[in-house]
Amino acid sequence: MSRNQGMDRRQMLKLAGFSAAGLGLTAAGCGSGGGSNGPVTIRHAWWGADDRAKKVQECVKLFEKKHPKIKVKTDFQQYPDFWKKFNTQAAGGNPPDVIQNAVTFLRKYEAKNVLLDLNPQAKKGNLQLEGFRAGLEKFAEIDGKLLGVPVGSNSMSLVIDEKVFEKAGVDHSLGWTWDDWYAGLRKIKSGQGIAGDSGPHGVMYLYDLVLRQNGKAFFTEEGMGFGENELLPYWTEALARVKAGIYADQKKVEQIKPASALAKGLSAGEFTWDNFSVRYSAEGKSSYSLAPIPTTDGKKTGQYLGSLMLSGTARTKHPAEVATFISFMTHDPAVARIMGYDRGVPATTAQFEAFQPTDAPSKAIGAYETEIAKAGVLEPITPHPAGADVVEAAFLRIAGDMSLGKASPEDSVKQFFSEAKTALASN
Amino acid sequence: MTHIQTSTSGPVLDKDLAAVERSGPGRKTRPAPRPRGHRENLTGYLFMSPWIAGFLFLIAGPMVFSLYLAFTDYNLFDSPKWVGLKNFTDMFADPRWRQSVKVTGWYVVIGTPIKLAAALAVAMLLAQKRWGQSFYRAAFYAPSLIGASVSAAIVWRALFSDDAVVDRGQQLFGIDAGGWIGDPNMIIYALVGLTVWQFGAPMVIFLAGLKQVPRELYEAANVDGASAWRKFWSITLPMISPVLFFNVLLETIHSFQIFGSAYIVSNGSCGPADATLVYTCYLYDQGFANSRMGFASAMAWLLLVAVGLVTAVLFWSQKRWVHYEEGGR
């Protein structure tokens, strides 16, 4: 650095003075940006894969065209990463203005005053609450506060590889039982040589249905809705099925993540949300369809309508614009034509009628939702207690570890309840 | 306080080399300090002020706060509740925490020596004068520049999956074990491989050390008819032991802090079956996914103490195996 050595102290101070002046100018330049009549910018974040991001961004462009005074900045991650980021942002007082949300997170963030009550905005006319199907507008109302507006409804379902099921000669119809299902799995294993199921015993929402078929539920409003006595036999039987090859090899399932085991041909069936089946057709080579959830008594599936929703955050400086954006996303017919059934069957009649599915997976979802609605098997759902998201993640992880042979069912069950207790207490 | 260090190569290097100069052979005595004016001191502090401000507000402040949080129940939203030592007793009772200690310990104990051995071996090859040596030095250093990046970890995940390069390779030898990524017993070795591959930084330091070994020692050994191994063991190793010590210290501390590669190679799960649940990964998960910031702070401080102890032990062990040259040879 020979040049610096030649510079004396006065020159240096001059230089410092200039830089300081430069900083001041920059600061002044920033200050003029926040005029009251300029466009308002809100931030919208969601979780999901790339194809959802493309669709949402298309909707956002449309929204900005119709509302030139509102700009929407977008951001998205995969599900677990989304919540880590949101949690940190919310704790730091700088969450996005509008987020995609689910029932698991309502109480958690309501208790922390993170979510915006949208009722006042509805009264002011910024948010339209008419025209929702089947009372869905009340879906996210807790203690008189409207904490979210559903964009679509979905239900837990069984997605199957149609070709494998056909070749194996396994029939499925509404009201079939778990015994029928397991007999089918054995038939698929012996006949087709592959696992019939990706491994369902870590899926919290499926176990919730199994419990509901027996008059219980995964969560009560305050805590856990079941005990070790219920989970131990469930996981013991599951481990036996993993060992028998009826459930997919967890080692292989781990490696193809985040792709699904069903789409990659590691199994012939998977319990998941019905709107995900759109994704399987894009990811996999076979043809996929939706089958009814097996039952305990031949009647009750335990299913309910789940829903993705849009929520505002309480610290937003632009609640009116937030409400306008949510209203647009839930009612505008053009949005429905772009989004399709990506976030479930549209929640408003306007959007429901605007999108007529033409592709096979979407048609199947529409038919599935109609079928279970007609069968009258749907039950109401209560918002999960705070910390439910952590419990859900632990359930999935511990079940997976057990499948890998790392722990006995007894130890796994104990570990799960110990983690669940901590999660519900500390959130 | 979460010290998650994912990049190491660039900025650390200058410091490394400076430290090598300080501790290496041929140490020079400093010129005697001359008295300085008050104003000159002030200017000095003025120039340091960005760093001092950064240190106070971005490092010291948060560290002190996290020390306080370590004794509280803090979920990021509600104000921290004092719980005394509960976070620490919870930690020792937590099987996942014990798993994370085990995984990290294993990683440090296996990964660090192999990495240093590889670095030293390559440095010795590159120390010889031959055509194109600067190209080779750059080529071998390159992995440690990109190794800390996310993309390298993603490539690593792809290499070690089912039916990928490594799996095919072992199939050639009749080993049908499947990919390492889904195997709880193997995935840690994929991580060790990733860190060994990034031997560039210690290699450069070894290279600097090797260059300082006086040639006449080898000439004398040649006259005595010493074997190559004998020369390595009796000349090279003692002569570069200060550099070796420095590398052991740096790499050990660095290994304790592994986060990025474990997180990415396991697709963010630190699995399967917690096989890559390294300490910082569990810390991150507890703090940010489970909102247990008090617990995470306690974990962070315990890591600091543990790393401090290991460092102290290493410094203490110096007496036995590090040879500093005092007053000429």
* DSSP structure string for B73-106: E--SSSPPEE-TTHHHHHHHH-HHHHHHHHHHHH
For chain B, the distance separating the N- and C-terminal CA atoms, rounded to the nearest angstrom, is 46
Residue B42, amino acid: L
> CA A163 → CA A188, A191, A278, A288, B100, distances in Å?
11, 13, 17, 8, 43
Name the residue in chain B with its Cα closest to that of A405: B273
Contacts of A423 in chain B (CB under 8 A): 290
Q: DSSP E strands: which ranges in chain B?
A: 72-73, 81-82
Q: What is the pLDDT of residue B303?
A: 96
Nearest to B310 by CA among B239, B254, B259: B254
Q: What is the pLDDT of residue B326?
A: 62
CB of A128 within 8 A of CB of A349? no
3-state secondary structure of A307: strand
The second-level CATH assignment, the architecture, of B95-321 is Orthogonal Bundle (1.10)
In this complex, the residue of B178, B288, B292 whose CB is nearest that of residue A84 is: B288
Q: How far apart are CA A126 and CA A232, in angstroms?
A: 50
Contacts of B269 in chain A (CB under 8 A): 254, 257, 397
Q: Which residue has the tokens 């390559």?
A: B122
Peptide bond into A294 cis (omega under 30): no
The pairing of beta strand A145-146 with beta strand A141-142:
antiparallel
Best probe of the B interface among A23, A109, A426, A427, by most B CBs < 10 A, is: A426
> CA B33 → CA A27, B177, B327, distances in Å?
43, 65, 22
Q: What is the pLDDT of residue A109?
A: 92
For chain A, the distance separating the N- and C-terminal CA atoms, rounded to the nearest angstrom, is 55
Q: Which of A25-39, B167-181, B214-228 has the lowest mean pLDDT?
A: A25-39
Q: What is the pLDDT of residue A160?
A: 93
- The pair of three-digit structure tokens given for residue A72, joined into one six-digit string: 């929407």
In this complex, the residue of A9, A81, A251 whose CB is nearest that of residue B182 is: A251
Q: What is the pLDDT of residues B280-329, one digit of tens each?
A: 999 999 998 888 999 999 999 999 999 999 999 999 999 888 888 764 44
Name the residue in chain A with its Cα closest to that of B77: A91
Residue B77 distance to chain A (closest CA, Å): 6
Record: contact B289-A80, CB cut-off 8 A: yes
Q: Which residue has the tokens 């609605």?
A: A373
Record: contact B272-A250, CB cut-off 8 A: yes
With an 8 Å Cβ cutoff, is B184 touching chain A?
A: yes
Does residue B235 surpass a pLDDT of 80? Answer: yes
Q: What is the pLDDT of residue B15?
A: 46
Record: contact A87-B161, CB cut-off 8 A: no
With an 8 Å Cβ cutoff, is B289 touching chain A?
A: yes
Record: contact A87-B271, CB cut-off 8 A: no
* Residue pLDDT tens, chain A, 427 long: 334 444 454 554 454 444 444 444 444 333 333 345 678 999 999 998 888 899 999 999 999 999 999 999 999 998 888 999 999 999 888 999 999 999 889 988 998 899 999 999 999 999 999 998 877 888 888 889 999 999 988 889 999 999 999 999 998 888 899 999 999 999 999 999 999 999 999 999 999 999 999 999 999 888 999 999 999 999 999 999 999 999 999 888 888 877 789 988 999 999 998 888 877 877 888 888 899 999 999 888 888 888 899 999 999 999 999 999 999 999 999 999 999 888 888 989 899 999 988 887 788 888 888 888 777 777 777 788 989 999 999 999 999 999 999 899 999 999 999 999 999 987 6
Mean pLDDT score across all residues of chain B:
85
Best probe of the A interface among B73, B74, B77, B285, by most A CBs < 10 A, is: B77
- What is the C-alpha R_g of chain B? 23
Contacts of A81 in chain B (CB under 8 A): 268
- What is the C-alpha R_g of chain A? 25
Q: What does the pLDDT average to over B273-285?
A: 93
Q: How far apart are CA B63 and CA B57, in angstroms?
A: 10
Residue B181 distance to chain A (closest CA, Å): 6
CATH 3.40.190.10 region(s) of chain A? 40-154+305-355, 157-302+381-426
Q: What is the pLDDT of residue A259?
A: 79
A73 φ/ψ angles, rounded to the nearest 5 degrees? -95, 135
Residue A28, amino acid: A
Q: How far apart are CA B197 and CA A78, in angstroms?
A: 29
Contacts of B43 in chain A (CB under 8 A): 9
Contacts of B95 in chain A (CB under 8 A): 415
Nearest to A252 by CA among A239, A238, A242: A242
Record: contact A251-B77, CB cut-off 8 A: no
- The pair of three-digit structure tokens given for residue A386, joined into one six-digit string: 């705070």
The pairing of beta strand A306-312 with beta strand A98-101:
antiparallel
Q: How far apart are CA A168 and CA A163, in angstroms?
A: 9
Q: How far apart are CA A9 and CA A15, in angstroms?
A: 10
Q: What is the pLDDT of residue A29?
A: 38
Contacts of A254 in chain B (CB under 8 A): 181-182, 269, 271-272
Size of interface A-B (CB pairs under 8 A): 77
Q: What is the pLDDT of residue B22?
A: 46
In this complex, the residue of B161, B183, B291 whose CB is nearest that of residue A427 is: B291
Nearest to B283 by CA among B58, B92, B96, B65: B96
Does residue B100 surpass a pLDDT of 60? Answer: yes
Record: contact B77-A114, CB cut-off 8 A: yes
Contacts of A83 in chain B (CB under 8 A): 289
Nearest to A426 by CA among A391, A382, A383, A384: A391
CATH class of A157-302+381-426: alpha beta
The pairing of beta strand B81-82 with beta strand B72-73:
antiparallel
Q: What is the pLDDT of residue B147?
A: 60
CATH fold group of domain A40-154+305-355: D-Maltodextrin-Binding Protein; domain 2 (3.40.190)
- The pair of three-digit structure tokens given for residue A375, joined into one six-digit string: 């069968």
CB of B220 within 8 A of CB of B1? no
In this complex, the residue of B73, B183, B290 whose CB is nearest that of residue A390 is: B290
Listing from the earlier edge strand, what are the strands of the sheet with A288-291? A269-273, A156-161, A288-291
Q: What is the pLDDT of residue B134?
A: 84
Contacts of B183 in chain A (CB under 8 A): 251
With an 8 Å Cβ cutoff, is B287 touching chain A?
A: no
3-state secondary structure of A72: strand
Q: Point out which residues pair with A196 in neighbouring strands.
A: none
Residue B162 distance to chain A (closest CA, Å): 7
Does residue B31 surpass a pLDDT of 50? Answer: yes
With an 8 Å Cβ cutoff, is B143 touching chain A?
A: no
CB of B198 within 8 A of CB of B255? no
CB of A371 within 8 A of CB of A174? yes
Categorize the per-residue pLDDT at B106 as very low, low, confident or very high, splitting at 50, 70 and 90: very high
CB of A329 within 8 A of CB of A72? no
Q: What does the pLDDT average to over B218-236?
A: 91
Q: How far apart are CA A87 and CA B322, in angstroms?
A: 49
Residue A333 distance to chain B (closest CA, Å): 36
Q: What does the pLDDT average to over B53-64?
A: 93
Nearest to A276 by CA among A57, A45, A49, A46: A49
Q: What is the pLDDT of residue A258?
A: 75
